[in-house]
Amino acid sequence: MKNKLLQYEQDFFCADFCRDASNLESRLSDSLCEYGCSGRVYDKPAMIAALTSICEDRPILISDFEMQTLCTDVLLVHYKSYHEESRETALRTSIWRKEDDGWKLLFHQGTHCEQKG
pLDDT in tens, the chain (117 residues): 999 999 999 999 999 999 999 999 999 999 999 998 888 999 999 999 999 999 999 999 999 999 999 999 999 999 999 999 999 999 999 999 999 999 999 999 999 987 654
Burial letters 25-58, b for 16+ CB under 10 A, else e? eebbbeebbbebbeeeebebeebbeebeebeeeb
- Report the amino acid identity of residue 63: S
Contact (CB, 8 A) for 44 and 30: yes
Look at residue 115 in the predicted model and tell me its pLDDT. Answer: 63
- Report the amino acid identity of residue 85: E
CA–CA dist 24, 12 (Å, integer): 9
Q: Which domain holds residue 37?
A: 2-113
Residue 88, domain CATH: 3.10.450.50
- Number of domains into which the chain is organized: 1
Look at residue 117 in the predicted model and tell me its pLDDT. Answer: 44
Look at residue 96 in the predicted model and tell me its pLDDT. Answer: 98
